[in-house]
Chains A and B, each alone.
Chain A
């Protein structure tokens, strides 16, 4: 039952439903046009809901027609491991966001470069440190010196 199509349908249904709840909560006012701020969102929400149902129903019908129970093992093989590996990279990104205000841009970006290189399978060694420092220096030069972006300076500003 839990084919990729079925899960897609379920996802669309839940997104549509949640969105509709908020869409119906929008205020109305005398300055509104006849469609109003909520008009289009409601239409989008209902369409999403209906499309979700159609996709989910379609996947069920397909399986009933084909007779045999779908092999979920093949359908989802290796996906769990994939999600975990991707989540790891995402976690590095999240740590960067939390750390940048304290560490400051140059330090945070250097750590990010080193961490992602290692995570993606680079061999630990001196070149990792070189990549981290060199890359950070380059990005700092481009964004802070040339483009004038005020990146977080962090607590190491005194150094």
Chain B
């Protein structure tokens, strides 16, 4: 909220100067994308980059607003109470499902309407270049002999869940250490405190290029274009697939023309050669889902997460 005016001003002027906002069929002139990430944070930088390409496709000005607090609880409350006129949207990541389930805030993911999905971030398992582990099997074998030390970036997160599932499916013993973000985790992998860590490729990119980190496997459903030799966890026979989505949700009851405009714009943005170069370099995988499919996807995702949290006793 604090940053609303300045970001609005800066982005609006940036958008205007490049692409004159043409009053197309879209019902409003300015679209606000709300994120719970702080300015300069991962989702925030991602959204601002994307909004540059989104603005001309929708024919509106696109601004990013940071509504922080309560790991997304505030942002969800903000959106759930906003009018469904196509002016205000929420940038979704798995966080909003986790916060809804764990914190039971007043407004949850069920009070929002998933609109379209843009990306799936691949999650990879990595280790320090100097470690003795060459493959994921080495790690699993070692953990079967003596208690393993694995790391996830945040306490209740998709990464944590993925490791817990990997532990359960292999039946090995491992302590799963949680951190305060990917950077914290990486230090502990680099200095050998942890055997493996899980994170998004973009978080470890610089270390990867410097050859300080070795990738062992990816949790995605297919091999990654940038790392064709990297096996997926599923094909190694451990049966864990993780889909960290990045999409858009709005208030309930979005009009049909807004939904259609977004479905078209999302596909056009993802196909834009210029943007493609940027996001592929950042190891994001385009994964467009239209409104109908995305709603289903979010529901399945939430149900899976809920049953995991319920089985492990985190929630009642």
**A/B: CB atoms within 8 Å of each other:** yes
- Residues of A with Cβ closer than 8 Å to B? 27-31, 147-150
A27, A148, A150: most-surrounded residue (chain B CB, <10 A): A148
| B312–A30 touching, CB < 8 Å | yes
Bound together, the chains give a CA A28 to CA B315 distance in angstroms of: 9
CB of B302, distance to nearest CB on chain A (Å): 18
Residue of B nearest to A145 (CB): B5
Residue of B nearest to A144 (CB): B5
Docked complex: B263-316 residues within 8 A CB-CB of A? 311-316
Residue tally, chain B, CB below 8 Å to A: 15
- Residues of B with Cβ closer than 8 Å to A? 1-6, 156, 160, 164, 311-316
Bound together, the chains give a CA A148 to CA B3 distance in angstroms of: 7
Q: Besides A31-B156, A150-B5, 12 other CB < 8 A contacts? A: A27-B314, A29-B313, A30-B312, A30-B313, A31-B160, A31-B312, A31-B313, A31-B314, A148-B2, A148-B5, A149-B2, A150-B2
CB of B83, distance to nearest CB on chain A (Å): 18
Bound together, the chains give a CA A29 to CA B156 distance in angstroms of: 12
| B4–A150 touching, CB < 8 Å | yes
Q: Which residues of A contact B164 (CB under 8 A)?
A: 31
Bound together, the chains give a CA A150 to CA B2 distance in angstroms of: 6
Top 9 closest A-B pairs, CB basis?
Answer: A29-B313, A30-B312, A29-B314, A148-B5, A148-B6, A30-B313, A31-B312, A31-B314, A150-B1
A28, A31, A148: most-surrounded residue (chain B CB, <10 A): A31
CB of B278, distance to nearest CB on chain A (Å): 28
Bound together, the chains give a CA A28 to CA B312 distance in angstroms of: 10
Query: What are 26 contact pairs spanning A and B, CB under 8 A?
Result: A27-B314, A27-B316, A29-B312, A29-B313, A29-B314, A29-B315, A30-B311, A30-B312, A30-B313, A30-B314, A31-B156, A31-B160, A31-B164, A31-B312, A31-B313, A31-B314, A147-B2, A148-B2, A148-B3, A148-B4, A148-B6, A149-B2, A150-B1, A150-B2, A150-B4, A150-B5
Q: Which residues of B contact A148 (CB under 8 A)?
A: 2-6
**Do most interface residues of chain A lie in helix, strand or loop, or is the interface mixed?**
loop
Bound together, the chains give a CA A30 to CA B315 distance in angstroms of: 10
Q: Which residues of B contact A28 (CB under 8 A)?
A: 313
Bound together, the chains give a CA A149 to CA B5 distance in angstroms of: 8
CB of A31, distance to nearest CB on chain B (Å): 5
Bound together, the chains give a CA A30 to CA B161 distance in angstroms of: 12
Q: Which residues of A contact B5 (CB under 8 A)?
A: 148, 150
Bound together, the chains give a CA A28 to CA B314 distance in angstroms of: 7
CB of A27, distance to nearest CB on chain B (Å): 8
Bound together, the chains give a CA A29 to CA B6 distance in angstroms of: 43
Q: Which residues of A contact B313 (CB under 8 A)?
A: 28-31
Bound together, the chains give a CA A37 to CA B16 distance in angstroms of: 50
Bound together, the chains give a CA A30 to CA B308 distance in angstroms of: 11
Residue of A nearest to B155 (CB): A31
Residue of B nearest to A143 (CB): B2
Bound together, the chains give a CA A147 to CA B156 distance in angstroms of: 34
Bound together, the chains give a CA A29 to CA B2 distance in angstroms of: 37
B4, B156, B160, B313: most-surrounded residue (chain A CB, <10 A): B313
Residue of A nearest to B161 (CB): A31
CB of A83, distance to nearest CB on chain B (Å): 34
Q: Which residues of A contact B160 (CB under 8 A)?
A: 31
Q: Which residues of A contact B4 (CB under 8 A)?
A: 148, 150
Q: Which residues of B contact A30 (CB under 8 A)?
A: 311-314
Bound together, the chains give a CA A150 to CA B312 distance in angstroms of: 42
Bound together, the chains give a CA A148 to CA B160 distance in angstroms of: 38
CB of A139, distance to nearest CB on chain B (Å): 16
Bound together, the chains give a CA A29 to CA B1 distance in angstroms of: 35
Bound together, the chains give a CA A4 to CA B147 distance in angstroms of: 53
Bound together, the chains give a CA A153 to CA B311 distance in angstroms of: 47
Residue of A nearest to B6 (CB): A148
Q: Which residues of B contact A27 (CB under 8 A)?
A: 314, 316
Q: Which residues of A contact B156 (CB under 8 A)?
A: 31
CB of B57, distance to nearest CB on chain A (Å): 28
Q: Which residues of A contact B311 (CB under 8 A)?
A: 30
Residue of A nearest to B175 (CB): A33
